Amino acid sequence: MTHAIGYAAHHSFSNLKPLEFERAAPAAHEIEIEVLFCGVCHSDIHQAKNEWSNTVYPCMPGHEVVGRVTHCGPGVALHAVGDVVGVGCMVDSCRACAPCIAGEQNYCEGANGFLSTYNGPMIPSSLACTGQNMYGFDNTYGGYSSVLVVREDFALKIPAALKPEVAAPILCAGVTTYSPMKHWGVKPGDKVGIIGFGGLGDMAVKIAKAMGAEVTVFTHTPEKLSEADKLGVAGVLESDKAKFTELKGHFDFMLSTIPQKHDINPYIQLLKRNCTIVIVGALEMMERVNNAQVAFSRRSVAGSLIGSIADTQEVLDFCAKHGIGPDIQIIPIEDINKAYKQVIDEDVRFRFVIDMASLKAHTTEA
Amino acid sequence: MTHAIGYAAHHSFSNLKPLEFERAAPAAHEIEIEVLFCGVCHSDIHQAKNEWSNTVYPCMPGHEVVGRVTHCGPGVALHAVGDVVGVGCMVDSCRACAPCIAGEQNYCEGANGFLSTYNGPMIPSSLACTGQNMYGFDNTYGGYSSVLVVREDFALKIPAALKPEVAAPILCAGVTTYSPMKHWGVKPGDKVGIIGFGGLGDMAVKIAKAMGAEVTVFTHTPEKLSEADKLGVAGVLESDKAKFTELKGHFDFMLSTIPQKHDINPYIQLLKRNCTIVIVGALEMMERVNNAQVAFSRRSVAGSLIGSIADTQEVLDFCAKHGIGPDIQIIPIEDINKAYKQVIDEDVRFRFVIDMASLKAHTTEA
| Residue A178 and residue A143 share a domain | no
Same domain, A100 and A19: yes
The pLDDT assigned to A137 comes to 79
In a domain, B365, yes or no: no
Per-residue pLDDT, B212: 98
User: Helices (DSSP H) in chain B: which residue ranges?
Assistant: 42-48, 98-101, 164-167, 173-183, 199-210, 225-231, 241-246, 265-268, 291-295, 309-322, 336-344
pLDDT at A330 exceeding the cut of 50: yes
Residue A20, chain B, CB below 8 Å: the answer is: no
Q: How do residues B300-313 score in pLDDT, each as one tens digit?
A: 999 999 999 999 99
- Report how far apart, in Å, the C-alpha atoms of B365 and of each of A246, A362, B13, B17, B57 are: 52, 94, 21, 10, 20
Q: Write the pLDDT tens digit of every residue in B39-73.
A: 999 999 999 999 988 999 999 999 999 999 999 99
Mean pLDDT over residues A142-171, rounded? 98
ipTM over 0.95: no
Strands (E), A40-82: 65-72
Nearest chain B residue to A302 by CA: give it.
Answer: B300
Residue B240 counted as domain residue? yes
How many C-alpha atoms does A288 have within 13 Å on its Cβ side?
11
Alpha-carbon span B101 to B11, nearest angstrom: 37
Number of domains in chain A: 2
B148/B10 same-domain check:
yes
SS3 B57: coil
E strand or H helix that includes residue A295: helix A291-295
**Mutate: best of B268, B298, B301, B305, partner A, most A CBs <10 A:** B298
Specify whether B158 is located in the same domain as B187: no
Q: Residue A123 — very low, low, confident or very high, per pLDDT cuts 50/70/90?
A: confident
Nearest CA in chain A to B260: A291
Q: Are the CB atoms for A323 and A22 separated by under 8 Å? A: no
CATH number at residue B121: 3.90.180.10
Compute and round to an integer the Cα radius of gyration of chain A: 20
Instruction: Over range B167-177, report the average pLDDT.
Output: 98
Share of chain B above pLDDT 90, in %: 90
Residues B105 and B199 in one domain: no
Q: At what angle do helices A309-322 and A199-210 cross, to 10 degrees?
A: 70
Same domain, B109 and B183: no
Across the interface, of B285, B296, B304, the residue whose CB is closest to A290 is B285
B53 touches chain A (CB under 8 A): no
SS3 A351: strand
Instruction: Name the maximum alpha-carbon separation found in chain B.
Output: 63
B268 touches chain A (CB under 8 A): no
**In the 8-state DSSP scheme, what is residue A106?**
G
**CB proximity B107 to A under 8 Å:** yes
| Residues ≥6 apart with Cβ < 8 Å to B169 | B39, B41, B64, B199, B203, B325, B326, B328, B351, B353
Three-point CA angle B245, B246, B250, nearest 5°: 105
Please tell me whether residue A210 adopts helix, strand or coil conformation: helix
What digits encode the pLDDT tens for the residues A14-57?
Answer: 999 999 999 999 999 999 999 999 999 999 999 999 998 899 99
* Same domain membership, residue A190 and residue A163: no
DSSP symbol at A98: H
Domain range spanning residue B68? 2-172+307-359
Q: Flag whether A126 is in a domain.
A: yes
Strand stretches in chain B, DSSP E? 2-8, 17-23, 30-39, 65-72, 84-87, 90-92, 115-116, 147-151, 156-157, 191-195, 214-219, 234-237, 251-256, 271-279, 300-303, 328-332, 351-355
- In this structure, are B280 and B313 located in the same domain? no
In a domain, A364, yes or no: no
* pLDDT tops 90 at residue A207: yes
What does the pLDDT read at residue A364? 44
Domain membership flag for residue B366: no
pLDDT confidence band for B366 (50 / 70 / 90): very low
> Which of chain A's residues have a Cβ under 8 Å away from the Cβ of B303?
291-296, 298-300
DSSP state of A225: H
Distance separating alpha carbons of residues B200 and B177, to the nearest angstrom: 7
Residues B168 and B108 reside in one and the same domain: yes
Tell me, what's the pLDDT at A126? 66
Say if B268 falls within a structural domain: yes
Which among A40, A43, A175 has a CA at the least distance from the CA of A122? A43
Does B48 reside within a domain?
Answer: yes
The HSE-up count of residue A199 (CA atoms within 13 Å, CB side) is: 32
Work out the end-to-end distance of chain B between its first and last CA atoms, rounded to an integer number of angstroms.
Answer: 23
**Interchain CB contact of A109 with B (< 8 Å):** yes
Pairing label, strands A90-92, A115-116: antiparallel
Q: Is B107 helix (H, G, I), strand (E, B) or coil?
A: helix
Please give the pLDDT value at position B129.
Answer: 63
**Inter-chain residue contact A303 with B298, CB threshold 8 Å:** yes
pLDDT averaged over every residue in chain A: 94
Q: Do A161 and A263 fall within a single domain?
A: no
Q: What is the CATH number for A242?
A: 3.40.50.720
Are B150 and B223 found together in one domain? Answer: no
Q: How far, CA to CA in Å, does B326 sit from each of A87, A350, B92, B316?
A: 56, 57, 26, 12
Q: Check if the beta carbon of residue B246 is closer than 8 Å to that of residue B190.
A: no
pLDDT of A73 over the 90 cut: yes
Domain stop point among A303, A326, A343: A303
Domain co-membership, B107 together with B82: yes
Contacts by A336-340 with C-beta closer than 8 Å and gap 24+? A336/A7, A336/A16, A336/A40, A336/A144, A337/A15, A337/A16, A339/A40, A340/A16, A340/A40, A340/A44, A340/A45, A340/A48
Share of chain A above pLDDT 70, in %: 96
The rounded distance, in Å, linking the Cα atoms of A172 and A307 is 8
Residues 176-235 of A with CB under 8 A from B: 180, 183
Q: What is the CA radius of gyration of chain B?
A: 20
> Does the distance separating the beta carbons of B299 and A98 come in below 8 Å?
no
- Rounded to two decimals, the pTM is 0.93
* Residue A115 placed within a domain: yes
Task: Sort strands B300-303 and B271-279 into parallel, antiparallel or unpaired.
Answer: parallel
Q: Kindly list the residues from chain B whose CB atom is less than 8 angstroms away from the CB atom of residue A304.
A: 295, 298
- Flag whether pLDDT at B289 surpasses 60: yes
* A301: nearest CA partner in chain B: B301
